Structure 1
């Protein structure tokens, strides 16, 4: 992926997986549009992107759970860069916990930020992606494939996104846009650190012991790094993946037990 004119939107890009994806695409020479809620963090990522090799960068703070925001971000990207070739929908953290303690608002918030924002971004970006014969990567998670009693919001949201992505890929067959799902496993981010800390408190363990206990529980040889996901996104958006379309790529170190 060497064309320096390519513009890429990455949502949820202020930290973690989204930040890593933005910086990887920047290194490949793309122009980078990053969006999330925190403007200061976004500005730092945009500056890093340019230092890394981005052809240009744009940071747009937005609450993507609000209906008009995805369209606003896309419009700003087109105004700055004149086109759009890559859309990576990564935004959206859903609440974990006991099912009976999760409220209607918790469920609605989970769908608003992760599912509905992705749908709205795809709708707003579609004509520009068609014009560029571009690529969409929707980031879900392995909860889509393996239900978990503590993940009764995130699992259904990710399952819905997987279904939506496949349906959109069917439409894209005649329009030249490649559309795929990337499903990360247990990646070292703030959310994983919080899960380890909770496990340590629950089991009266040290953080190091809790981390190892969870690793063994998940059946993996190591936790994933954000670079593992960013590298796969870059591949899926590249010409090397020109025949990869309408599929779900699971990057989880073997944690998913099913097929």
Structure 2
């Protein structure tokens, strides 16, 4: 299947590694122009160099903090000034800290609100003038927690569910402009974030992290964690013209882990 993304311009937040990089890599392999963003300049430059060397695609890196309105706007303006259009946007940001209800202050809640929900609102708002003129696609990354809340990820559970509702609402509102909006829900994908959460659980349980990972794999019907390449293929598909009749959808990439019907 061809993604039909050659020479199209995609903005990908939090894409210097992990899930975002996996999607960027798949788009680049099919000839897209990928505009990577990350808070960490060193990691961002390394990712851009690696991606260009692997795929030959044009890569435009930009240092961006998803919790900063000005940073999001500066990134968007830089892409438009460089390429004069935006064809796709990946909404992505690092997850808020793990913990239970009694662990968090009002300030923790506000920070998670800014990072997880308002970053999505602001990124989408910034690209809409370009997308309404030319059409385009928007993809958010949330979590399996929007269907089955995860015990230790209260902040993520609450605000990623809000992003999912935003996606469903915008899909209808933006459809007349030929702008598609979808959501991707990772299960246990082998990323730094998931490894960190496994390490936290191992410390709390006083067990080797390998035991935690083995126990987790037993709950996954496919019996293993997913790879960023597998996740990237799903994300690139939803952003691409190959998914031109899909909007308002939430796709789980979880090896069968989520047990809910809907």
Contact 1:32–1:54 (8 Å) recurs in 2: no
**TM-score normalised according to structure 2 size:** 0.93
Which one of 55, 58, 65 corresponds to residue 56 of structure 1? 58
Distance 1:17 1:111, change over 3 A: same
Pick from 6, 9, 25: which aligns with 2:8?
Answer: 6
Match of 2:133 among 112, 131, 140: 131
1:225-244 matches, within 5 Å, as 225-244=227-246
Give deviations 1:202-232, integer Å, cap 9, x for gaps. 3333332221012224565111111121101
SS in 2 for 1:250: strand
Structure 1 residue 53, shift from structure 2 partner:
2.8
Q: CA deviation at 1:153?
A: 0.6
Distance in 1 (alpha carbons) for counterparts of 2:130 and 2:57 = 19
Per-residue deviation, 1:81: 1.3
Q: How does 1:94-173 map to 2 (within 5 A)?
A: 94-173=96-175
- Kindly state the Cα deviation for residue 3 of structure 1 after the two structures are TM-superposed: 4.2
Equivalent residues in 2 for 1:36-51 (5 A)? 36-51=38-53
CA shift digits 1:72-109 (9 cap, x unpaired)? 11110011112110100111311111210112222211
Consecutive unaligned residues of structure 1, counting only runs of 5 or more, are none
- Rounded to whole Å, the distance in 2 between the matches of 1:182 and 1:9 is 16
Classify the secondary structure of the residue corresponding to 1:56.
coil
Q: How many residues align?
A: 259
| Aligned counterpart, 2:208 | 206
TM-score, normalised to structure 1, is 0.94
The higher-RCO structure (CA 8 Å, 6+ apart) is 2
Deviation at 1:162, TM superposition (A): 0.4
Partner of 2:180: 178
2 CA distance for matches of 1:21 and 1:108? 29
Deviation at 1:119, TM superposition (A): 0.8
